Structure 1
């Protein structure tokens, strides 16, 4: 029985029952507990509304004695209205005509600068611990140490990388909404859990489960990538490459792994020289992340890599990124200058899939976060 016929059937039973009681000399005012609402005891308010029964009761109440039924009906209507104002797992007001406002990288960062992160900060290990010859070699030939005045900013980056996704936090929700809208071009809000996240390259319906090894910093990096007009074009181009009919890869999972590389490069002081030069940490880490992603996309496209190559590509990428961060940053600078002139693009032809053609569950992806530690100088853990 479909919804409409179910509604009609229940309304008919309600009217028939009322008629039988009236013909027998029954008056609803005699006994509140025996009102017509008892017939629907145990049925959720949402189901009543779906079947049209709640509306029918409201209409019929005008013909009954108000003192008996209207109080029950109004109470049920108020209960439904209170429940129906929020979409589950989204935090989006159903009655609002305005979509969730996009959030900038600086606004999201400010949120983390103002909330209490002390419990997360206790977990970080700011630099790699080296012993023996490795420590001596690093001291003699390694990069310079980060300036004292920049260490608090570095620790903030590593602390954010310890934070998970909190779907109850409005700022976290806005970050996800912004990433989704900027990559897909959608103007509509979406649920924070759902299959649509697989279309962006997460493994499942909950993006928070894919942030291991990078934490919320992975989402901040994606936000940074899509909220700058120059890097947005790069992000969209890499996203299209990720949907290539042969060279497809899970875009967001790949991004999480690149954030993981950036975290390790920061901890191993590979970025200290550039941070000291610019007297900033967060912008350098952001640019390093974007430059590394750009290099991966170029290698992936020009060398015709596929998902089966993911672990090898990422390991080679990590070695190169840590060894030559200045070179990567220069490449990004040249690329973005070309974007300003309308000239930059990833080399090589490509074919794109439709927006619903690819799910990450169809891919076998191995990233850095899935690998075991391979060096005595540190582990994959933050």
Structure 2
């Protein structure tokens, strides 16, 4: 699944312009010395397209794109001008009437004031789109590709290789519109942490299964959306206050939610037809029981470390009741919850960032 050009491209690039044009014209039945006609013009256009490809390949091969750590990427966003992004954030869900009263009396605690700046930074990153002109953005994208595929080669900004990774099309930026760069940052965290990378590889491998396949990156973006909404509904405030951190908690909840979905998907042989139902169940569980979700991740990680230490393969622990209810009628198409049109059963406005 590398980004090497197709062999035919290599052959084309090995030809000179005249040789290529002559070959194309001969294939069209036109003598080499004939007056240029429609076929010749078509051949000329083909060559110009090849020159564009060659230019892109040379640009890509100008030098390897260095990997970037999560902390380095985060430092970029901490110092970048995100003023326009900050104007768009809605830090918490608005509740009115009885819903507001019930939340005040029985809901989770509010996020402590000293942590609200970090929360707003995370939400601002979620409003920041993928920018081709930002070197850090491109390094994050390339790092995710290389770590998931175990490739040492950089790849073009656009192309079918992103679909193989689990985006919906040739441009990853399209799928990131609902979660912004936070969606890509959480993928980066997943693949750059030495403890979570093996899990990322397991999930990515399952995503390419013959019958249980699913779009890995699109699934990841939906899990980030769930994490953002849980943050905005203050479902994660207690854990953030306890640990005096926000972004670290968001990342751990993201990995824990992905682990839970992976366990259900693998054990119960789910397919893309079940994705919408499973994501809704996962969202509900994440909001109601984030502490239990994180505890499951801790148990899994400890077991994984024990496996590495003693060389014994432990069975994957069965997941809870996520996905235990029969899903609705199977659909032939993926029906992921839209990253921009989440509906929340609360009074008042409850839109995603």
TM-score w.r.t. the length of structure 1 is: 0.72
Aligned to 1:69: none
1:185 to 139, 143, 150: 150
Aligned to 1:376: 346
Give yes or no for contact 1:301–1:347 (8 Å, CA) kept in 2.
Answer: no
Unmatched 5+ stretches in structure 2: 1-11, 23-42, 308-312, 319-331
Unmatched 5+ stretches in structure 1: 11-42, 51-79, 349-362
Aligned to 1:20: none
Aligned to 1:295: 260
Q: Find out whether 1:315 has 2:280 as its counterpart.
A: yes
Structure 2 distance, partners of 1:131, 1:151, is 22
Aligned to 1:7: 19
SS at 1:168's partner residue?
A: coil
1:324 to 289, 302, 318: 289
How far does residue 336 in structure 1 lie from its aligned partner after superposition? 1.1
Structure 2 distance, partners of 1:95, 1:188, is 9
Runs of 4+ residues deviating >6 angstroms: 83-86
Q: Find out whether 1:208 has 2:173 as its counterpart.
A: yes
Give 1:1-382 correspondences, 5 Å limit.
3=15, 6-7=18-19, 87=56, 93=59, 96=62, 98-342=63-307, 343=313, 346=316, 364-369=333-338, 373-377=343-347, 378-382=349-353
Aligned length: 301
CA pair 328-344 structure 1, distance change in 2 beyond 3 A: farther
SS at 2:123's partner residue?
A: helix
CA pair 226-372 structure 1, distance change in 2 beyond 3 A: closer
Aligned to 2:5: none
CA pair 310-93 structure 1, distance change in 2 beyond 3 A: same
How far does residue 95 in structure 1 lie from its aligned partner after superposition? 6.0
CA pair 344-139 structure 1, distance change in 2 beyond 3 A: farther
Q: If you compute each CA radius of gyration, which structure gives the higher value, 1 or 2?
A: 1
How far does residue 379 in structure 1 lie from its aligned partner after superposition? 3.6
CA pair 194-5 structure 1, distance change in 2 beyond 3 A: closer
Give yes or no for contact 2:275–2:335 (8 Å, CA) kept in 1.
Answer: yes
How far does residue 7 in structure 1 lie from its aligned partner after superposition? 3.2
Q: Tell me the C-alpha RMSD between the 2 structures.
A: 2.9
